Amino acid sequence: MYLEHFQLKNQPFAEHAAVSSLWQDQRMDEGLARLDYLVHSGQLGLVTGPSGVGKSALLKRFLHGLLPPHCQEYLSAVNPRTNLGRCFYCLRNFNPIEFTMAVQQCDFVAAVHYLEPLLRASQSRHAGH
């Protein structure tokens, strides 16, 4: 009823809003940059703030950039023994290089160069165990 009254196409406060409908401003850019830093440095972070400031929207936009390359769904995990990712939505496997190429929109060589420091950091963390 109110959708027609206000000439809206979608429910404006839907819990499952499309990433394309989320706002993009300086605060969002800064939050994304901070989350990107945490991922690239292998650090753990915490997103806090008052109700309604956009914590969920920030995480949704950030996770959208980390989606499996095949179907763009969130239902995935990596098998540490094989280092292959598995999408539970489309039931396909993907390797880290393929994933990086899709997310970073780069070629094979650039993806390998991107992953090398992460591999070294991971190996040094596990060397102590």
Measuring CA to CA, how many Å separate 48 from each of 15, 33, 53, 60, 115? 19, 16, 9, 15, 29
Number of domains in the chain: 2
User: Are 126 and 95 contained in the same domain?
Assistant: yes
CB burial of 94-115 (b: ≥16 within 10 Å; e: otherwise) equals bebebbbbbbeeeeeeebeebb
Q: 47-105: per-residue pLDDT in tens?
A: 998 988 888 888 888 877 766 555 655 556 667 777 777 777 777 777 778 777 776 77
- 26 and 60 inside one domain: yes
Q: What predicted TM-score, i.e. pTM, was given to this entire model?
A: 0.47
Distances (CA, A) of 29 to 32, 48, 52, 109: 5, 16, 17, 28
> What are the tokens at 115?
């992953």
- How confident is the model at residue 67, as a pLDDT? 60
Whether 48 and 86 share a structural domain: no
> What is the distance between the alpha carbons of residues 20 and 113, in angstroms, rounded to a whole number?
30
Same domain, 6 and 62: yes
Q: Which of 66, 89, 118 is the last residue of a domain?
A: 66
* Confidence (pLDDT) at 115: 84
34 and 48, same domain (yes or no): yes
> Among all chains, which residue has been given the structure tokens 């991107």?
114
Which domain range does residue 49 map to? 1-66
Tens of pLDDT, residue by residue over 6-60, are 887 776 666 666 666 777 889 999 999 999 888 778 788 889 989 888 888 888 8
